[in-house]
Structures are given as structure tokens and as C-alpha cells.
């Protein structure tokens, strides 16, 4: 199946080069090109592409505004191109909240060192994005209470324990080379009982993760009794801006992890991009270790690395949560957690932007609970507080 793409960028050179790279594989057809956001919206309605690539800074109408309008009129998977700077990170996070699925650096030299590798990465990313569900993402939690508005200590929210209802994807194409569908385990309804004491909660995610993490973390009260460790696949220049963004929106404290940080209740530590984060528990005090990114690992940070360290440091007392994302990172870390008697939750297919990472965990039989995204936060409050 050929995936149709609309390229939206004010640079004629970039439009031409991107078109040449994408069409070389025969799997992708560029059906149109727009020079600004307004023209991009019009062509999106006229051409109905499977994927739209979008620049963020353009005349007439910027990329973020264009994404918002496209998501209102006809939700379509959007891949943003941005600069790997602090400002680029801030703008890209705004675009993801507006509805974009994923992003890549606009400077191709930052993606790959040679043309063959660049072509492979760009084409695969387009194919992956084509199989996403832009219309399934929840309303962004930008209206969540800010830090001064504290939830009463001991508050509880009750939701069903599992959602296994499946629904069709509508008109969005699936890519045969990377199937996203798998039968989620059907489990009996969870019997309510007292909250379980976890020494730490680990959350791992990738594509769709920035919005998903925001949605989950903004539900937690400042009095959340467990420390949280967050692993989001993200470049080094993006994680500081992402941590600051979450910290402003959440009632718990969120910041990028640093070497020697101590895990504390109500504190969420985000793994820095380009590096690996491990947790060491010595003498009853858990500390963060930040290690250089190993070139042998595809992901920096890697969920498996962090979750594996949590399994060793807190055997039987860890809760691992795997949210939306491509690939299978997190599966082996969750397996290590389960082997020590800890619990694992995974996001369901319907609410995932990309059902890759949570699917890998569910298919391996490691999920104690399969939850919709909107259930994860309330279940954390119910099950941990």
C-alpha cells in the first residue's frame, strides 16, 4: 500500500529534497506541497493525504496553528520538522499538544550521517506515523489545575479497572509492514481493595508520550505518596523544556533528573535525553545515576535500562507503566519487574497514538492491567494513594 504525503514548508529547497527522498522508495507518494500553513490546510482538505509533514515557522499561518485547524476539520497524522534547540523544543511540544503525532530535526545532518541511512529513517518514520491515530488522542490537559491549587490529601477517584473494548480506526491506513493490531488480554474485573504500597512508579513512553504523560501527571495530587521515574524517548535538547512544561502544569514536582538525585514522594524525575538513567538503592536510599548513552542501544534514554534498575533496586515493590510508543522498549524491563513480583500496567490500543510498546508488553503476558489513557491517572490515585 502506498502512503500519500502532503509536504508543508516555506523552503523550496527543503520541499524538493524531502520529496526526492520520500518518493525514492516507491512506498510513499508525495501528492502535494504547500508553502504556508493556510495553503497546507486547504490542500489537506482537497487531497486528503495519509500523512502531512509540517514546518513550524512559516508565513501567513504558522505550523502549530495549521495543525490545530487540521485536527478540527479532518484529523490527519502530522510529522513536525523542528530545530533541536530549546526554543525548537518548546514550539514542538506545543505542536504535539495541538495534535501532531511525532517530530524530526529539520537539519537532516542531525538525523543521519549518510543519505542511505537518512532515507531509511525518514521513510520508516512516515510509515509509522501513517499507522497512528491522531483522532484518538484525548483533549490536552492544558486546563489542569496549576501548582497553587492543591487537591485534598486522601482524595480518591474510581474508574473501571480495564478497558478491552475495541473500535475501528476509521479511514486511517494501516501499514502492512508494521502491523499495530494485537488482541489485548481479557482479564476479569479488578476487585477493589486497599491501596498497595509501591516504593516507586516508573512510566515509559515514546511516540504520543508527551501529551500522554501530561494527561496522566496533571491528575496526581501534590500529596502523591510515591516517587515517579519517567522515561520519554526524546532528544537531549528537548527534555529540559519538557520537564519545565510538566512542572508548570502539574501539582507534583517534575524536573529533569541529575546525577545523585534522591527519589522522594511527589517528585517525578525525567530521564535526560541522549543519556541513560539508572536507579541505585543503597542503604535504603535510592539515588539517580546518569550514564552516557551507549551507542549499542537504539534508545537514549531507554525504558528497559531504567526499568531493569528499578526491578533490582525495589524487587516486588515497583509499579511499571508503559504508555503509547513505537517499538518494544520497556518489555524486557517489565519482564524483570514481574520476575521480582512487581506490577505492570499498559495502555490499551484504542487510546494509544501508536500501539507498539504497550502492545509488546501485553502480548508478552506481562500486563496486570490494561487501561485507557484517561484511566491511568485515577488508577494511580486509587491504587497508590
- Active-site residue numbers? 206, 233, 329
The beta strands (E) that lie in the chain are given as 3-8, 28-34, 51-55, 78-82, 102-105, 200-205, 228-232, 253-256, 267-270, 275-282, 285-292, 318-322, 343-347, 369-371
How far apart CA 132 and CA 90 sit, in angstroms, is: 23
356 φ, ψ (degrees, to nearest 5): -110, -65
What letter does residue 39 receive in the DSSP assignment? H
How far apart CA 254 and CA 317 sit, in angstroms, is: 22
How far apart CA 350 and CA 180 sit, in angstroms, is: 11
Give bridge partners of residue 318 from the DSSP assignment.
200
- Tell me how crowded residue 204 is: count the other CB atoms within 10 A of its CB: 32
For residue 325, the SS3 value is strand
- Distance between alpha carbon 234 and the CA centroid of its chain, in Å? 9
Q: Which residues contact 151 (CB under 8 A, 6 or more apart)?
A: 145, 221, 222, 223, 251
Q: Any idea what the Cα angle at residue 375 is, between residues 369 and 380, rounded to 5°?
A: 75
> Where does residue 372 rank: exposed (0-12), middle (13-18), buried (19+ CB within 10 A)?
buried
How far apart CA 362 and CA 160 sit, in angstroms, is: 18
| Torsion sign across C-alpha atoms 277, 282, 287, 289 | negative
Q: Which run of H or of E encompasses 20?
A: helix 12-23
Amino acid at each position: 500500500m502506498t502512503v500519500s504525503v502532503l509536504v508543508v514548508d516555506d523552503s523550496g529547497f527543503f520541499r524538493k529534497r524531502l520529496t526526492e527522498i520520500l518518493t525514492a522508495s516507491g512506498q510513499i507518494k508525495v501528492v502535494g506541497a504547500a508553502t504556508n500553513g493556510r495553503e497546507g490546510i486547504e490542500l489537506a482538505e482537497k487531497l486528503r493525504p495519509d500523512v502531512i509533514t509540517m514546518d513550524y515557522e512559516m508565513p501567513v499561518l504558522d505550523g502549530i496553528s495549521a495543525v490545530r485547524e487540521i485536527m478540527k476539520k479532518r484529523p490527519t497524522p502530522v510529522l513536525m520538522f523542528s530545530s533541536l534547540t530549546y526554543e525548537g523544543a518548546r514550539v514542538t511540544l506545543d505542536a504535539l499538544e495541538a495534535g501532531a503525532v511525532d517530530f524530526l530535526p529539520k537539519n537532516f545532518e542531525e538525523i543521519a550521517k549518510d543519505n542511505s541511512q537518512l532515507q531509511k529513517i525518514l521513510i520508516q518514520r512516515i510509515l509509522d506515523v501513517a499507522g497512528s491515530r491522531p483522532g484518538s488522542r484525548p483533549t490536552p490537559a492544558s486546563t489542569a489545575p496549576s501548582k497553587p491549587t492543591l487537591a485534598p490529601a486522601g482524595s480518591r477517584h474510581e474508574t473501571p479497572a480495564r478497558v478491552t473494548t475495541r473500535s475501528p480506526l476509521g479511514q486511517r491506513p494501516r501499514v502492512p509492514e508494521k502491523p499495530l493490531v494485537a488482541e489485548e488480554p481479557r482479564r476479569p474485573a479488578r476487585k477493589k481493595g486497599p491501596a498497595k504500597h509501591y516504593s516507586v512508579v516508573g512510566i515509559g513512553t515514546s511516540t504520543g508520550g508527551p501529551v500522554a504523560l501530561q494527561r496522566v501527571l496533571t491528575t496526581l495530587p501534590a500529596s502523591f505518596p510515591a516517587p515517579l521515574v519517567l522515561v520519554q524517548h526524546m532528544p537531549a535538547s528537548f527534555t529540559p523544556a519538557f520537564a519545565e512544561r510538566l512542572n508548570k502544569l502539574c501539582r507534583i514536582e517534575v524536573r529533569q533528573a541529575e546525577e545523585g538525585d534522591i527519589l522522594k514522594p511527589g517528585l517525578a524525575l525525567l530521564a535526560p535525553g541522549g543519556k541513560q538513567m539508572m536507579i541505585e538503592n543503597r542503604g535504603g536510599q535510592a539515588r539517580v545515576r546518569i550514564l552516557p548513552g551507549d551507542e549499542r542501544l537504539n534508545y537514549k534514554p531507554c525504558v528497559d535500562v531504567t526499568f531493569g534498575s528499578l526491578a533490582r533496586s525495589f524487587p516486588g515493590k515497583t509499579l511499571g507503566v508503559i504508555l503509547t510508543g513505537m517499538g518494544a522498549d520497556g518489555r524486557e524491563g517489565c519482564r524483570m519487574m514481574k520476575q521480582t513480583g512487581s506490577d505492570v500496567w499498559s495502555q490499551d490500543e484504542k487510546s494509544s497514538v501508536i500501539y507498539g510498546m504497550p502492545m509488546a508488553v501485553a502480548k508478552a503476558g506481562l500486563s496486570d492491567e490494561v487501561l485507557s489513557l484517561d484511566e491511568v491517572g485515577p488508577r494511580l490515585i486509587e491504587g497508590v494513594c
